[in-house]
Amino acid sequence: MPAAIVTGSGRGIGKETALMLARRGMDVAVCSRTKSEVDRAVDEIKKIRAGVLGMKCDVGDASDADKLVEATVKRFGSVDVLVNNAGVAILKQLVDTTEQEWDETMNSNLKSAFLCSKVVLPYMLEQKSGVIVNVSSGAGKSGFENLSAYCASKFGMMGLTESLAWEVASTRIRVMAICPGDVDTAMQEIDPAYHRANRARMLTAGQVAEKIVEMIFDNRYRNGQSVDI
């Protein structure tokens, strides 16, 4: 049975993606830095299928990323899909952003995708197939005030996607990015007033997850492609 890892899957886009992949018959590994969120996600997925693994981990840490992938392969025998979704955001002008906040944003949003892809790729190369979907953002193509750290991390995600796509171009592995606009998730809590004023026009986590799953299963989505939604 094919297996997927979805990072940042304790809630929001990640959890919805994991649930939809389970409904499509995939075994799924979910992870979050918050154990209670992992446990809830696992419980929901178990109602669909037994093939689920939950881990509390920080995928911005190399050791944790290694353990996540190793546990997934040990449990399911392969990693066929990786969705790099983990992420955080802060709303601050650059001059007010601390080094710690910058590093946390880069580690969660970008370094995590580097680490997980680095560990997953040897398995995909050995089996000569696989799909990696990096969750970037509209903020990965246009800069926005007070979001310099977030935008920089998501622009970086686009560069990572395109570079890695070239590296696997001679294989049957596809590496792609999805770039959602505003999504009605807990991340919007960084600006409650904006969230209240614009919630009605925002995408739902389920809508983004549906597109991610479509990209995974539909070969019309090509290696190196970025998809706006």
Average pLDDT on 149-171 reads: 98
> Starting from the edge strand earliest in sequence, which strands make up the sheet with 52-56, in order?
52-56, 27-32, 3-6, 81-84, 130-135, 173-179, 226-228
Residue 97: pLDDT band (50, 70, 90) is: very high
Q: What is the pLDDT of residues 39-82, one digit of tens each?
A: 999 999 999 999 999 999 999 999 999 999 999 999 999 999 99
Residue 1 reports pLDDT greater than 80: no
Helices (H) and strands (E) in the chain, counts: 8, 7
Q: What is the pLDDT of residue 184?
A: 83
Q: Catalytic residue among 123, 150, 194, 221, which?
A: 150
Q: What is the pLDDT of residue 186?
A: 86
For residue 78, how many other CB atoms are within 10 A of its CB?
Answer: 17
Which residues neighbour 151 within 8 Å (Cβ) at sequence distance 6 or greater?
139, 140, 142, 143, 144
Average pLDDT on 95-105 reads: 98
How much is the mean pLDDT over the chain? 96
The CA distance from 70 to 143, in Å, is 36
Average pLDDT on 142-158 reads: 97
Average pLDDT on 167-187 reads: 95
Pure H helices in the chain = 12-23, 35-46, 62-76, 99-106, 112-127, 148-167, 192-198, 205-217
Share of the chain above pLDDT 70, in %: 100
Q: What is the pLDDT of residue 177?
A: 98
Q: What is the pLDDT of residue 21?
A: 98
Residue 193: pLDDT band (50, 70, 90) is: confident
Q: What is the pLDDT of residue 174?
A: 98
What is the homologous superfamily of the domain 3-228 according to CATH? NAD(P)-binding Rossmann-like Domain (3.40.50.720)
The CA distance from 199 to 99, in Å, is 31
pTM of the model: 0.97
The CA distance from 222 to 175, in Å, is 8
* 123 catalytic residue (yes or no): no
Residue 187 reports pLDDT greater than 80: yes
Q: What is the pLDDT of residue 214?
A: 98
Q: What is the pLDDT of residue 42?
A: 98
Residue 8 reports pLDDT greater than 90: yes
Q: What is the pLDDT of residue 189?
A: 83
Domains of the chain: which residue ranges? Answer: 3-228
Q: What is the pLDDT of residue 116?
A: 98
DSSP 145: T
Q: What is the pLDDT of residues 19-29, one digit of tens each?
A: 999 999 999 99
Average pLDDT on 136-159 reads: 97
Q: What is the pLDDT of residue 92?
A: 97
Q: Cα dist. 104→76, 99, 149, 172, 195 in Å?
A: 31, 9, 9, 33, 23
Q: What is the pLDDT of residue 185?
A: 92
The CA distance from 125 to 123, in Å, is 5
- Residue 178's nearest CA partner among 202, 153, 154 is 154
